[in-house]
Amino acid sequence: MIKLRYLAAAVVATGAIQAAPAADLAAGKALAQKTCAACHGVDGIGIVDLYPNLAGQKASYLAAQLKAFRAGSRNNPIMSPMAKSLSDAEIENVAAYYAGLSQR
């Protein structure tokens, strides 16, 4: 019986590892509120014309842009520095968070 329980736990654990890494929406929201909302708004709507809306944009597009800013293949004096310190996980999380917000 004990062995079976270990086996079940191992199967569950393996499943969790093999599943596609799910974005952590709560972490994405926290990062967005702390770092991005000053320009892109708490609701993902840019606070002035200069700052693009992110709400409802496709997550993979947002992540690709953040990685491009980070790598320097997309350049903007205001936005590029924002992306420089982001990890891949932070990018996936914040992209998923903004993608889940409704467009105005």
Binding site for ligand HEC (CB under 6 A): 31, 35-36, 38-40, 50-52, 54, 62, 65-66, 76, 78-79, 82, 94
Q: By C-beta, is 21 or 52 nearer to ligand HEC?
A: 52
Query: What is the biggest distance separating any 2 CA atoms in the chain, rounded to whole angstroms?
Result: 64
Output the smallest distance, CB 97 to ligand HEC, in A: 9
Q: By C-beta, is 94 or 101 nearer to ligand HEC?
A: 94
Output the smallest distance, CB 22 to ligand HEC, in A: 18
**Rounded to a whole number, what is the distance in angstroms from the first to the last CA of the chain?**
56
Return d(Cα 36, Cα 46) in angstroms, integer: 10
Output the smallest distance, CB 19 to ligand HEC, in A: 24
Return d(Cα 72, Cα 78) in angstroms, integer: 13
**Is the C-alpha dihedral spanning 89, 94, 95, 99 positive or negative?**
positive
Q: By C-beta, is 22 or 42 nearer to ligand HEC?
A: 42
